[in-house]
């Protein structure tokens, strides 16, 4: 199952991370780190959040990413797919509200392995409760 494949990967990037602790871009980023994932934040509006360096784009990341979690509007998601493909990233998790038909069609055309009907934050919280 693709969801489990993604959860087994250890190096993640959150595209759309934010310093606003009430927003999903922050909550997802923190929760991934709390669960032991090596997690990088991508947002050109920040240099750092809580002492962690934040990168302007996927191209700046110091390591090859296993999974991208997307927390941006569909228009930005579309552009992110091109960078992800060029960088050889295989897995993309689209959070609710980050995709539309055009984004999903492009993800299929570029042959990504992706999820778009689920939330990584809800998944990780559920795992905590089951542990």
Q: What confidence tens digit (pLDDT) does each residue in 2-52 have?
A: 999 999 999 999 999 999 999 999 999 999 999 999 999 999 999 999 999
**Tokens standing for 122?**
């809800």
Closest residue by Cα to residue 95 from 46, 31, 25, 36? 25
Question: Is the predicted pLDDT of residue 117 greater than 90, yes or no?
Answer: no
What residue segments make up the domains of the chain, in order of their start?
2-125
Side-chain half-sphere CA neighbours of 106 within 13 A: 19
Query: Measured in whole angstroms, how far is the alpha carbon of residue 5 from the centre of its chain?
Result: 14
**Tokens standing for 34?**
């709390």
**Tokens standing for 35?**
């669960």
Q: Give one word for 35, left, alpha or beta, with left for phi > 0 and alpha for psi -120 to 50.
A: alpha
Closest residue by Cα to residue 106 from 96, 120, 92? 92
Q: Which pTM value belongs to this model? A: 0.96
Q: What confidence tens digit (pLDDT) does each residue in 38-95 have?
A: 999 999 999 999 999 999 999 999 999 999 999 999 999 999 999 999 999 999 999 9
Which CATH architecture does the domain made up of 2-125 adopt? 3-Layer(aba) Sandwich (3.40)
């Amino acid at each position: 199952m693709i969801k489990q494949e993604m959860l087994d990967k250890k190096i993640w990037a959150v595209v759309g991370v934010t310093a606003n602790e009430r927003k999903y871009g922050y909550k997802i980023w923190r929760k991934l780190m709390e669960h032991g994932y090596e997690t990088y934040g991508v947002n050109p509006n920040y240099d750092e959040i809580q002492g962690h360096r934040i990168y302007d784009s996927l191209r700046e990341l110091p390591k090859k990413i296993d999974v991208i979690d997307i927390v941006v509007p569909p228009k930005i998601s579309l552009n992110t797919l091109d960078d992800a493909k060029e960088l050889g990233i295989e897995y993309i998790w689209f959070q609710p509200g980050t995709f539309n038909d055009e984004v999903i069609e492009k993800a299929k055309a570029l042959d990504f392995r992706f999820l778009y009907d689920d939330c990584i934050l809800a998944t990780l919280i559920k795992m905590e409760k089951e542990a």
